[in-house]
Structure 1
Amino acid sequence: YVLNGESRNTWITPENYREVAVVFGPQFVQRHGLEVANLEGLFMAPLNSLQNALFSRWLSGTLTRLSATFDPPSRDALTQQLLDDCLFILDNACVCLDKGSLQRRTEERIIMARVGEWAADVPDETVNLLELARIAGVPLRQLQQGFKTYTGMSPAQWLRLRRLNSARRELLNPPSVDTTVAEVAMNWSFWHLGRFSNSYRALFQELPSETLKRQR
Structure 2
Amino acid sequence: MDKILVVEDDKTVYSGIKKLLELQHYSVVIAQNGMEALEKIDESFSLVIMDIMMPQLDGIETCRRMRERHSVPILFLSAKSEELDKLEGLEVGGDDYMTKPFSNMELISKVKALIRRYLVYDSGSANRTNKDETIETDGLKLFTNRNKVEFNDNEIKLTGKEYEILKLLMKNPDRIYTIEMIYEMVWDEAFTYNAKNTVMVHIKNLRNKLIKACGDACIHTEWGRGYRFER
The answer, yes or no, to whether TM exceeds 0.5 is no
Which has a greater percent of strand? 2
Indicate the structure whose relative CO is greater, using CA pairs within 8 Å and at least 6 residues apart. Answer: 1
Which has a greater percent of helix? 1
Find the structure with the greater CA-based Rg. 1
Q: Report the TM range for the smaller structure's normalisation.
A: 0.3 to 0.5
